[in-house]
């Protein structure tokens, strides 16, 4: 066999075998700032050694809808907001979590996923059906009779059985798809309270809120922070934050039931109650909004408002670390997804930055050598960064002028509420003074519009009341025990298996 053939078999670059060594200091670009920065980055990567030990703790950040363009745009926005170069800036999790992989997000029945089966893949290790939570591929959507024989066991349920503490945090309703995958088993993600159950499911399939309170694994969750208060309250009970809004349930006051079940627990519903949680707190249920919590850009920060995702993460770790065996914590940035659905990039990026701050807070609060920290997404969005804006151009700003003579933004959507529809009141036009051969379009000219306004909706191609998910791969970032296993392109359900291996749970042995 020739040396060339041996190199191919070994997977070694032939060029690397035959090319003469050279001193990089002789290169004309050796003093270039980019060259030197890359050399420093290479040295940092060479210093990273795989952590093959056992994890005492696992913290999974699931950022709903965190596409790669969302990461890029958020890093640029955070940098620009801080007055530094946005393009070369990095979010906290990009700097702190060195191991990365691309994650395939398809489900058992769909090219483009929703949050229910993707969260199930992450927490239970199997791919399942859109619209279902905590069940496998044998379940039938919205068929209660198919549920009993198809349920999975989540890593949270396994952790409780192993004596670990557990916690869930979400800026969405705590009964929403992603946090529900920690504890619920249902063939319909919309069955969040008893009034949403179909007649044939009543008495057989429990609603999601009831499953949280009745969760029987170990001694139950030590921490649950999020929104969704209405799903735990009777429809005869006024919301403590807004007396004009009532609860959603007809059967049980689940907050009272939780308090009766956990005499060591504390229930809180606003910033004041959250701030009052002391060093003696060992269990807490915090429901900070009737529905989803506020976007970070709108969050009220007074006593009657809501804690930030970073504050909730730090407090959860303080409580969970009281268990000497360890803990498993999920932190969901749920409203990134909602802002994208609304076609509102500014809020999506602001909530992404808030999650990054929570990752930094978590990293600072733990021993990273014994804590596996992950940041990933359940699915992507049809969100794009396009055009040819110059370096340093505001990421929420105008990228240039299109062939129709109208200004367009760097950020946009393939579909969503930002699209214009043709009708008699909105005929195709070209701007005044545009070339006669410029194409007629129905979209607005943005040259005099403040596209950086928090309420601005980016333009979209296809008109839809709610922008849709996308089917492209998402990213996972990791550090800590077994984090090096996140490498290359992986199936989404592999995330569970790495976490279980790190914790040395029985099912992973």
Give per-residue pLDDT as tens, 411-420: 999 999 999 9
384: number of Cβ within 10 Å: 18
pTM of the model: 0.93
pLDDT score of 405 more than 80: yes
Tell me the pLDDT tens digit for each residue of 125-138.
999 999 999 999 99
Tell me the pLDDT tens digit for each residue of 61-103.
999 999 999 999 999 999 999 999 999 999 999 999 999 999 9
Are 20 and 470 a contacting pair, CB within 8 Å? Answer: no
Mean pLDDT of the chain, nearest integer = 94
pLDDT of residue 2: 40
pLDDT, greater one: 366 or 303: 366
Q: Could you give the residue ranges of the DSSP H alpha helices within 192-246?
A: 208-214
d(CA 472, CA 111): 9
Tell me the pLDDT tens digit for each residue of 160-201.
999 999 999 999 999 999 999 999 999 999 999 999 999 999
d(CA 397, CA 319): 42
Which tokens hold the place of 329? 């914590």
Closest residue by Cα to residue 151 from 130, 171, 181? 181
Span 405-430, average pLDDT: 92
pLDDT score of 462 more than 80: yes
Quickly state the pLDDT bin for 302 (edges 50, 70, 90). Answer: confident
pLDDT of residue 303: 85
pLDDT of residue 446: 96
Q: How large a percentage of the chain has pLDDT more than 90?
A: 89
Quickly state the pLDDT bin for 425 (edges 50, 70, 90). Answer: confident
pLDDT of residue 426: 84
Tell me the pLDDT tens digit for each residue of 327-336.
999 999 999 9
Which tokens hold the place of 175? 């009964």
pLDDT score of 12 more than 50: no
Span 426-437, average pLDDT: 85
d(CA 228, CA 205): 20
**The tokens 């393009």 sit on which residue?**
87
pLDDT score of 506 more than 80: no
Dihedral Cα 112, 115, 118, 124, nearest 10 deg: -160
Span 493-509, average pLDDT: 86
Which tokens hold the place of 2? 């020739």
Catalytic residue among 13, 25, 90, 115: 115
Does the CA dihedral 143-149-152-158 come out positive or negative? positive
Q: Which residues contact 203 (CB under 8 A, 6 or more apart)?
A: none
Closest residue by Cα to residue 84 from 451, 454, 397, 392? 392
Tell me the pLDDT tens digit for each residue of 142-153.
999 999 999 999
Span 430-453, average pLDDT: 91
In angstroms and rounded to an integer, the radius of gyration of the C-alpha atoms of the chain is 25
44: number of Cβ within 10 Å: 11
pLDDT of residue 23: 59
pLDDT of residue 10: 38
Quickly state the pLDDT bin for 436 (edges 50, 70, 90). Answer: confident
Which tokens hold the place of 208? 């999601």
Which tokens hold the place of 310? 């970073």
How buried is residue 174: exposed, middle or buried, by Cβ count under 10 Å (0-12/13-18/19+)? buried
pLDDT of residue 431: 83
Q: Is 115 one of the annotated active-site residues of the chain? A: yes
Span 214-220, average pLDDT: 97
Mean pLDDT lowest among 312-316, 398-402, 454-458, 502-506: 502-506
Mean pLDDT lowest among 282-286, 357-361, 505-509: 505-509
pLDDT score of 19 more than 60: no
pLDDT of residue 285: 98
């Amino acid at each position: 066999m020739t040396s060339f053939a041996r190199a191919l078999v070994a997977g070694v670059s032939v060029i690397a075998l035959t090319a003469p060594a050279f001193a990089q200091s002789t290169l004309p670009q050796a003093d270039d700032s980019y060259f030197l920065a890359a050399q420093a980055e290479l040295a940092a990567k060479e210093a990273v050694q795989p952590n093959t030990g056992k994890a005492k703790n696992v913290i999974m950040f699931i950022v709903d809808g965190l596409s790669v363009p969302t990461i890029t745009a958020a890093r640029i926005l955070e940098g620009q907001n801080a007055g530094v170069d946005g393009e070369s800036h990095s979010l906290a999790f990009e700097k702190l979590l060195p191991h990365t992989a691309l994650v395939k997000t398809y489900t058992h029945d769909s090219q483009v996923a929703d949050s229910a089966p993707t969260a199930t893949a992450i927490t239970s290790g199997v791919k399942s059906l859109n619209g279902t939570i905590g069940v496998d591929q044998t379940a039938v959507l919205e068929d209660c009779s198919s549920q009993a024989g198809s349920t999975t066991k989540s890593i949270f349920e396994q952790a409780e059985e192993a004596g670990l503490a557990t916690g869930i945090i979400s800026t969405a309703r705590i009964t929403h798809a992603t946090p529900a995958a920690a504890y619920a088993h249902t063939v319909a993600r919309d069955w969040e309270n008893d009034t949403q159950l179909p007649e044939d499911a009543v008495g057989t399939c429990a609603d999601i809120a009831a499953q949280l309170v009745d969760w029987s694994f170990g001694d139950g969750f030590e921490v649950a922070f999020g929104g969704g208060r209405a799903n735990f309250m009777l429809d005869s009970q006024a919301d403590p934050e807004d007396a004009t809004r009532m609860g959603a349930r007809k059967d049980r006051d689940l907050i009272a039931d939780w308090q009766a079940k956990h005499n060591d627990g504390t229930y809180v519903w606003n910033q004041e109650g959250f701030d009052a949680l002391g060093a003696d707190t060992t269990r807490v249920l915090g429901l900070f909004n009737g529905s989803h919590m506020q976007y970070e850009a709108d969050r009220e920060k007074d006593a009657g408002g809501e804690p930030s995702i970073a504050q909730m993460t730090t407090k959860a770790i303080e409580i969970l670390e009281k268990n000497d065996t360890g803990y498993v914590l999920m932190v969901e940035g749920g409203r990134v997804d909602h802002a994208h659905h609304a076609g509102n990039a500014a809020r999506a990026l602001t909530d992404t930055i808030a999650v990054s701050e929570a990752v930094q807070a978590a990293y600072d609060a733990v021993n990273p050598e014994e804590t596996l920290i992950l940041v990933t997404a359940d699915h992507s969005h049809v969100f794009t960064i396009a055009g040819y804006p110059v370096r340093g151009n505001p990421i929420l700003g105008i990228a240039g002028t299109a062939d129709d003579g109208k200004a367009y933004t760097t950020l946009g959507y393939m579909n969503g509420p930002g699209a214009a529809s043709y009708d008699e009141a909105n005929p195709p036009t070209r701007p005044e003074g545009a070339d006669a051969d410029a194409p007629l379009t129905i979209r607005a000219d943005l040259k005099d519009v403040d596209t950086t306004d928090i309420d601005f909706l980016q333009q979209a191609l296809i008109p839809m009341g709610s922008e849709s998910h996308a089917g492209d791969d998402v990213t996972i970032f990791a550090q800590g025990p077994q984090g090096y296993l996140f490498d290359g392109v992986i199936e989404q359900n592999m995330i569970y298996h790495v976490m279980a291996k790190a914790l040395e749970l029985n099912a992973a042995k």
